[in-house]
């Protein structure tokens, strides 16, 4: 297992008492479509952690791979003046993970988390496990609980 995926699994166990079943795909799971194809699930079951900048702070929006985040809706939910994609350096320095491998929890800093309501319609969803090649299955209610997410309409 890649050291970053192993680190995520260890942190999830230690910090949340959650046993992560990491699955790695050497061909990569960089896009929701790639992840769905590798896992063998619907693209809507991919829980993509998107780091965004809301005014002066980061927020993680865990969205269904079938949807695009609506920045205006996120701004309304957070009472922010503006919301835009965060840059890679800031994501790495604040969350501790690189783009493509950001998990929905186990971040280096506490940040607000929003979860796409679409994900709640599935029994299992798949989220990044620390690298662009690693994912793990999780029930949406457990994802909501462990990430401290607010379930909301965040899709365009």
- Per-residue pLDDT reduced to its tens digit, 32-74: 888 888 899 999 999 999 999 999 999 999 999 999 999 999 9
- Model confidence, pTM: 0.93
φ, ψ of residue 34 to 5 degrees: the values are -60, -45
Which H or E run includes 16? helix 3-16
What are the beta bridge partners of residue 85? 52
For residues 13-37, give the mean pLDDT: 88
CATH homologous superfamily for the domain 3-152:
YbaK/aminoacyl-tRNA synthetase-associated domain (3.90.960.10)
For residues 114-138, give the mean pLDDT: 96
Which H or E run includes 26? none
Angstrom distance (rounded) from CA 82 to CA 145 = 27
Domain coordinates in residue numbering, the chain: 3-152
Angstrom distance (rounded) from CA 3 to CA 145 = 26
Residue with tokens 């699955």: 23
Task: Look at residues 8, 1, 33 and name the one whose alpha carbon lies nearest to residue 104.
Answer: 8
């Amino acid at each position: 297992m890649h050291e970053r995926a192993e680190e995520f699994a260890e942190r999830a166990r230690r910090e949340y008492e959650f046993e992560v079943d990491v699955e790695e795909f050497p061909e990569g799971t960089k896009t929701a479509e790639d992840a769905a194809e590798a896992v063998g699930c619907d693209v809507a079951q991919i829980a993509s952690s998107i780091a965004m900048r809301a005014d002066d702070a980061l927020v993680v929006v865990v969205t269904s791979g079938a949807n695009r985040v609506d920045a205006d809706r996120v701004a309304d939910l957070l009472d922010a003046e503006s919301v835009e994609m965060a840059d890679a350096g800031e994501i790495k320095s604040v969350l501790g993970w690189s783009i493509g491998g950001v998990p929905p929890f186990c971040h280096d800093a506490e940040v607000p988390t929003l979860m796409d309501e679409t994900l709640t319609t599935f029994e299992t969803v798949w989220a990044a496990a620390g690298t662009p090649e690693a994912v793990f299955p999780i029930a949406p209610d457990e994802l909501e609980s462990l990430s401290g997410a607010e379930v909301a309409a965040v899709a365009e």
